[in-house]
Amino acid sequence: MKKFFDIAVKAARESGRIQIERSKHIGEVRCKGDINLVTEVDLLCEKTIKEIILKEFPGHSFLGEEGGEGGAANAPFKWIVDPLDGTTNYAHGFPVYCTSIALEAEGTVALGVVFDPTRNELFTTERGKGAFLNGERISVTQRENLIECLLATGFAYDVRDTKVDNIENFTRFIKRARAVRRPGSAALDLCYVASGRLDGYWEMKLRPWDSAAGHLLVIEAGGKVTLFDGSEYSIYTPEILASNGRVHDSMVEILTRTKS
């Protein structure tokens, strides 16, 4: 597993280097939807990560946000990559973005790496070995009451067109928690729960690359990750609830409350 880990870190750092280098000249920005952006940097970072990983592990498969699947089909090892999580932030010069890389082994996420190049923060984890920030062990908070908690969430790109828009959840939480933030990077939101900067996070309509690395960081930092109703989480389900564990039931109660 050490070689897998080392290559993931190498790829994440190289992606981050590109992001910083290109931050003042990001090139063409295209729309995948009305408000869903993709930049030249997204594509370049994914291409670079894919080359680094598949050069070392040509028998592995690859799932990236911008390029879909690649590598060997039906391989026991699958790399799940968001080359630039927080593209809208990046395109606007708002410094909250990262690269997220996870390795799934036989259907279970075995390691995760998230690199924030603006702060030179490297979040890493291997299943069963804890969670770390720049090599120092991290853990979730111990707060037990929502009124003391700082939470985060996000809104899907179809927020303008759907009734399943997360706004009612946001309203409920902002009335129960100390505060709610919307940073714009699911991977970093999960890292911040793991490192104690946030007490909880929820979001809907995510894809595997958004949460594969981050959810394992939360678990290995002592937190809890489920679906909104408290049932078992999978990176292939679109909703996620992550917390320090102590306020999890309170968050479930809000997310599952029957609408009037």
260: pLDDT strictly greater than 60? no
User: What average pLDDT does range 35-55 have in this prediction?
Assistant: 88
- How confident is residue 161, by pLDDT bands cut at 50, 70 and 90? low
**Whether pLDDT at 34 is above 80:** no
pTM of the model: 0.94
The order of strands in the sheet holding 77-85 is 68-71, 61-64, 77-85, 98-105, 108-116, 121-126, 131-133, 136-137
Model confidence pLDDT, tens digit, residues 75-89? 999 999 999 999 999
**Range in 36-40, 165-169, 170-174 with the lowest mean pLDDT:** 36-40
| 144 token code pair | 């037990």
**Strands, E assignment, 37-139:** 37-39, 61-64, 68-71, 77-85, 98-105, 108-116, 121-126, 131-133, 136-137
- Say what the pLDDT of residue 102 is: 98
Give the per-residue pLDDT at 251.
98
Average pLDDT of the segment spanning 22-41:
73
Domains of the chain plus CATH, in order, are 2-137 (3.30.540.10), 146-255 (3.40.190.80)
d(CA 79, CA 60): 7
At 69, is the pLDDT very low, low, confident or very high (cuts 50, 70, 90)?
Answer: confident
Q: Say which residues have a Cβ less than 8 Å from residue 163's Cβ, sequence separation at least 6.
A: none
Q: Which of residues 1 and 231 earns the better pLDDT score?
A: 231
Give the per-residue pLDDT at 215: 98
